[in-house]
Amino acid sequence: MSEAGTADALLQRAEAWLAQDPDPETRAELEAILAQAQEGDAASLADLADRFDGRLAFGTAGLRGELGAGSNRMNRVLIAQAAAGFAAYLLEKAPGADAPTVVVGYDGRRNSDVFAHDSAELFAGAGLRAIVLPRLLPTPVLAFAVRHLGAAAGVMVTASHNPPNDNGYKVYLGGEDDGSQIVSPADAEIAAHIQRIADAGDVAVLPRSLGYETAQESVVDAYIAATAAVAPAPAGAEGLRWVYTAMHGVGWETTARILEAAGYPAPTPVAAQIDPDGTFPTVSFPNPEEPGAMDLAYETARETDAELVIANDPDADRLAVALPDADAEGGWRRLSGNQVGLLLGWRAARLAGSQDAGSEASLACSLVSSPGLEAVAQHYGLGFHTTLTGFKWISRAPGMIYGFEEALGYLVNPETVRDKDGISAAVAMLGMVTEARGRGESLGDLLRDFSETFGYFDSDQISVRVEDLAVIGKIMTALRERMPERLGDIEVTHSDDLLAGVEGFPRGDVLRLWLADGSRVIVRPSGTEPKLKAYLDVSGDSAADAHERVVALAASVRSLLEELG
């Protein structure tokens, strides 16, 4: 096709999109770009190409992307197509049965409430029973509600910890899936229905109905009661000084009620970050893992002489924990996701022994998470499973009583929520800390006790953020074609490529490198952000030895990725 022909086709796609867009904001945005593009403005044509050459792909993580007009953005047209396609999928799976029930939740991001209510109207219009949660709430409440209400499915409108101008659409299935996020082949089947709706070309003709329901407050009450029961406050909780931040998200209201029900002392909240605010004014990236995101929490902790900092991400499905450390900059250190995950795994294993969890009970983590969890499972005679990344896989591990992934995700209460839950994980962590406090020990002492019992594990992660996703493919291809023989002074003994097939795992774009000293490096593209990630895990004879090993390995891996990129 000629350049003119390509431009004409692009303009036609944009005009067709504009004709069906019900949102005055994105209509005005697109009209302005179209007017400039029709004048031949190269920058506007390039902007249209970015918005309309392709569409946001629906996969096992649902949808996630930048807000704005176009098929490659999050907006009301795309949401309408997704909701109508998902409704068609659910009706196809339940022919002749009672109307499937779908629960819809939403957080405090821009347009979350609009997307949620659009979805509910379309679900109801398609003949489903649609129930919207009573207000903006954490993602774990939606995951809980799917099971609690016996729903066929759930949708949560959230982009979790993504940048402020993103939003997303996360999908859960009930029934045999037990409230877990979707996996293949459901993702492809739903995507096919969505594409059929998109190809029809006009979401304005899709049937809508205001006959959806609003969930009773009892649903939220039931989640609060179940989560408070995870770890009622033990002796030693009195007087605990701690700080909490919701990272401008929706976690605080629900968390505060759970703390009261469980009997924990109220924290000092980070006042500037405690209320939902989709603009995230105090952080450039609302992810507790990102540099600077916890600075206000540390400042509050110093002012109040706190013993502990706990943070949720904006939709409260992740948990971050920090403790005082005189050697750290600012006097506070955030624990890694692996450190928190191993402590909570230790707690789960002890509980399993005391409660006679059964011969099938197991611990599970993603393949990029610390191998220390397997040491815990072996110590307590429990099963152990490694899965692909994502709680859609971890939640399906046989006999799973606890699961985690290093990206601050923890599943501590699988009978209640089959997904990561930063609120129940916070309660479990408070239980561990206050029990230790009653014995005169600190969180730092718990970390020491873990290492002395199970071994000295250390980990690191290298993220390569890219503007062009092709760079990630280039690096992965180069690694597959020429795997390094050594990383630093250590020989690479063998590797596995999950894309080629590895027993026990679905195929995935993941490479694992095994080193002669027992260290491990895993490289994969991020599933939610334009990043390539490398995960490093080592063990040593002491904490200092393990740390030295992981620092040296990180330098070698970083150099390799820079060379290949």
Which residues are tagged catalytic? 160
What is the β-pairing status of strands 242-245 and 268-269? parallel
CA distances from 87 to 72, 82, 139, 182, 388 (A): 21, 8, 21, 15, 28
> 192 by DSSP, 3-state: which?
helix
Q: Which residue has the tokens 């957080």?
A: 107
Q: Which of 228, 500, 269, 502 is nearest to 388 (CA)?
A: 502
For 215, what's the count of Cα atoms within 13 Å in the CB-facing half-sphere?
Answer: 33
Q: Which residues make beta-bridge pairs with 333?
A: 323
Question: Which stretches of 247-307 are assigned E, i.e. beta strand?
Answer: 268-269
Which of 390, 387, 392, 388 shows the shortest CA–CA distance to 183? 392
Torsion angle of C-alpha atoms 444, 447, 452, 455, degrees rounded to 10: -150
Distance from C-alpha of 29 to C-alpha of 36, rounded to nearest angstrom: 11
CB atoms within 10 A of CB 505: 16
Q: Are strands 308-312 and 180-181 parallel, antiparallel or unpaired?
A: unpaired
Q: Which residues contact 337 (CB under 8 A, 6 or more apart)?
A: 289, 369, 404, 405, 406, 407, 408, 409
Q: Report the C-alpha gap between 514 and 67 in whole angstroms.
A: 41
What b/e sequence results for 328-351 when a residue is b if at least 16 CB atoms lie within 10 Å of its CB, and e otherwise? eeeebbbbbbbbbbbbbbbbbbee
Backbone angles phi, psi at 320, to 5 degrees: -120, 145
Reduce the DSSP state of residue 420 to 3 states and report it.
coil
Q: How far is CA 356 from CA 401, 413, 424, in A?
A: 12, 16, 22
Report the run of H or E that residue 411 belongs to, with start and end. Answer: strand 409-411
Cβ burial, residue 151 (10 Å; 0-12/13-18/19+): buried
For residue 363, report the phi and psi dihedrals to the nearest 5 degrees. Answer: -105, 150
* Residue 212 identity: Y
Two tokens, residue 283:
């952080």
